[in-house]
Structure 1
Amino acid sequence: MTKGTLAMWRYEHKGPKYFKLGRKVVYALDELEEWLAASAAGAEQD
């Protein structure tokens, strides 16, 4: 994923959860791993 992709997903309220520290956008490793597992091809959706 590029920075641009992540920025677009934040704008569209998609993608992994994030938080901001000042002007920096930060992703928690456990949140990224959870999002990636849920987004994997063939993963079951609710």
Structure 2
Amino acid sequence: MSRESWKIFQIMAEFVAGFEQLSQIQPSVSIFGSARIQPGHPYYAL
């Protein structure tokens, strides 16, 4: 498999990690993407 083919697993892992964090916060809303939030901002890591 090429490196690009494995990228889907990284994306899936990040998706699962996000859902695990949100599962601890009730009620919660998921917003996908961080185009307007810069790295280093507290919300970027969420």
Instruction: Tell me if TM exceeds 0.5.
Output: no
Please, what TM-score do these two structures have when normalized by structure 2?
0.30
- Answer with 1 or 2: which has the greater Rg: 2
Q: Which one has a larger percent strand, Structure 1 or Structure 2?
A: 1
